[in-house]
Amino acid sequence: MGRTAQLTTRRATTSLRERAAEVLWANWTGTSTVPSRQLYPHQWSWDSAFIAIGLRHLSPLRAQLELETLLSAQWGDGRVPHIVFNPAVPLDAYFPSPDFWRSTTAGRTAGAPGAIHTSGIVQPPVHALAVWLVHRADPGLSRARSFLARAHPRLAAWHRYLRCRRDAGGAGLASVVHPWEQGMDNSPCWDAPLRRVPPADPSAYRRADLDHSAAEDRPTDLDYGRYVRLAADYRDRGYADGGGDEHAGGVGEFAVEDPSFNALLIASEHALARIEAELGLRGASVVRETRARALTGTLVERLWDPADGLFLCRDLRSGDHRELPSGELVPERGVGGLVPLILPALPAPVAAALVRTACGPHFGLGGPARLVPSYDLTGSAFDPRRYWRGPAWFNTNWLLERGLRLHGEPTRAAGLRRALLEVAGESGFAEYVDPYTGRGCGARGFGWSAALALDLLLDDPAGRDEEPHGRPAEAPSVAVTRKRFRDD
């Protein structure tokens, strides 16, 4: 590359970095970052984890505060709620609002905080991974603030809740009791399980999301009615997951073992093992690392489909679940089935098959798709614009980039990284994009889209392993952006 081309590339990188930092600055509330000021004006659980991963490059202190704010809303039973509501935001700005969830009353038995309003469901457990990466960004600051020591018991309780209270299938995997919990809200993977759920009366609520986004980009009214029904039923049960401490989860009509959710739990178990080692809890670290590897085996045993070369969801309520307590696999190809590529103990033949599937006609990596779509490009339900029914998302592609690098595919990982950065800049850090064209959909200036672009720009690819690493070579230019993030 000539000198002129190098200067052009450097200017473009600096511009993208500054623009991403501006998004995080605009979305910062003082204690956390909203995904979007209009569409999502509160704190979301897995959004904050991904945002902290990018924010650590600008202000490790803010990244720590982001995660601490979220974990401070943890319930007594260990769950980390998927929304922490900002009391300064009007009730009608977002639905379902605090008066729908009624966490302080309906969630009292489950240990919901009395002074903080939250939702009652959860989102994917990316938090221990985020805590570990934020610690690595500035270990001195982290130790001075006892960041890991204070986060550890909350993370351990969170994982215990998922392993015990949500083990509806009895095999050790966590189940989700609502599509919103898995994070990929209207994925076609949920169509069959949701058919059992009667929708709520549409006159009983008003969708605030359509005030800020095109209807063709969002879930349908029928799907939304089913989401509301499931959430209301769970609330009316007092957010109870079951009667005992073991194998208790999933008493409602929706209970699914999802590969992405469980892969992120296992990845966070690995991260929590490293946190425990850093804190001198060697015995606990060994036990947790062993458990993470065992859960990887369980994931393969329960959800791997060798014929599809993909992990599939298991619907625990399919058919007569009293006769089939293990449920049935859902024959739909979603991007969540590729996410287990992030796991270090994944058997090599399984990892190789996942890469082939990602690069094949269903997901188009390195081929017709600029970014990996959320759903099978050849599927009958594919829609390039409608939320999780086809569009590409930055968080799932970020996870796949890490997985490709982890499993010996640096060239494919580098290509995906370049595409992510190009599309992030072109789309204005859109919430999600058309996987073929990169055209932005949903919100613009979206929190994790900006944060993960920053991480791809500023993290050292050679250091994306499990050991601490120093500042990347471009560190001096980080200071330019950091001026806007004063830690005071």
Q: Which of 138, 431, 434, 459 is catalytic?
A: 431
Report pLDDT for 212: 76
User: What pLDDT score does 12 carry?
Assistant: 64
Least confident of 7-11, 246-250, 272-276, 357-361: 246-250
pLDDT at 182 over 50: yes
How would residue 353 be classed by pLDDT, with cut points 50, 70 and 90?
A: very high
d(C-alpha 316, C-alpha 338), whole Å: 21
324 pLDDT above the threshold of 60: no
**What pLDDT band is residue 247 in, cutting at 50, 70 and 90?**
very low
Q: Would you place residue 470 in the very low, low, confident or very high pLDDT band (cuts 50, 70, 90)?
A: very low
**Rounded mean pLDDT of 476-481?**
36
Band of pLDDT at residue 252, cut at 50, 70 and 90:
confident
pLDDT surpassing 90 at residue 394: yes
Around 160, how many Cα atoms within 13 Å sit in the side-chain half-sphere?
Answer: 12
How high is the pLDDT of residue 325?
A: 57
Q: Active site includes 431?
A: yes
The pLDDT mean for the chain works out to 90
Residue 461 confidence class, pLDDT cut points 50, 70, 90: low
State both tokens at 218.
Answer: 């969002």
Q: What is the predicted pLDDT for the residue at 375? A: 98
Instruction: Report whether pLDDT(4) > 70.
Output: no
- Residue 362: the pLDDT is 98
Predicted confidence (pLDDT) per residue in 10-68, tens digit: 566 779 999 999 999 999 999 999 999 998 999 999 999 999 999 999 999 999 999 99
Would you state the pLDDT for residue 370?
98
What's the pLDDT at 268? 98
Model confidence pLDDT, tens digit, residues 103-132:
999 999 999 999 999 999 999 999 999 999
Q: How would residue 204 be classed by pLDDT, with cut points 50, 70 and 90?
A: confident
User: Omega before 306 cis (within 30°)?
Assistant: no
Q: What is the pLDDT of residue 14?
A: 76
Percent of the chain whose pLDDT exceeds 70: 88
pLDDT at 207: 84
pLDDT reported for residue 488:
41
Q: Is the pTM of this model over 0.85?
A: yes
pLDDT of residue 2: 59
Mean pLDDT of 281-300: 98
pLDDT (0 to 100) of residue 9: 56
Average pLDDT over residues 185-213: 89
Tell me the average pLDDT across 316-324.
Answer: 66
Residue among 66, 138, 185, 223 flagged as catalytic? 185
Please report where in the chains the tokens 């977002």 appear, as a residue.
94
pLDDT tens string 416-444: 999 999 999 999 999 999 999 999 999 99
- Is the pLDDT reported for residue 486 higher than 70? no
Q: Output 486 or 440, whichever has higher pLDDT.
A: 440
Mean pLDDT of 251-269: 94
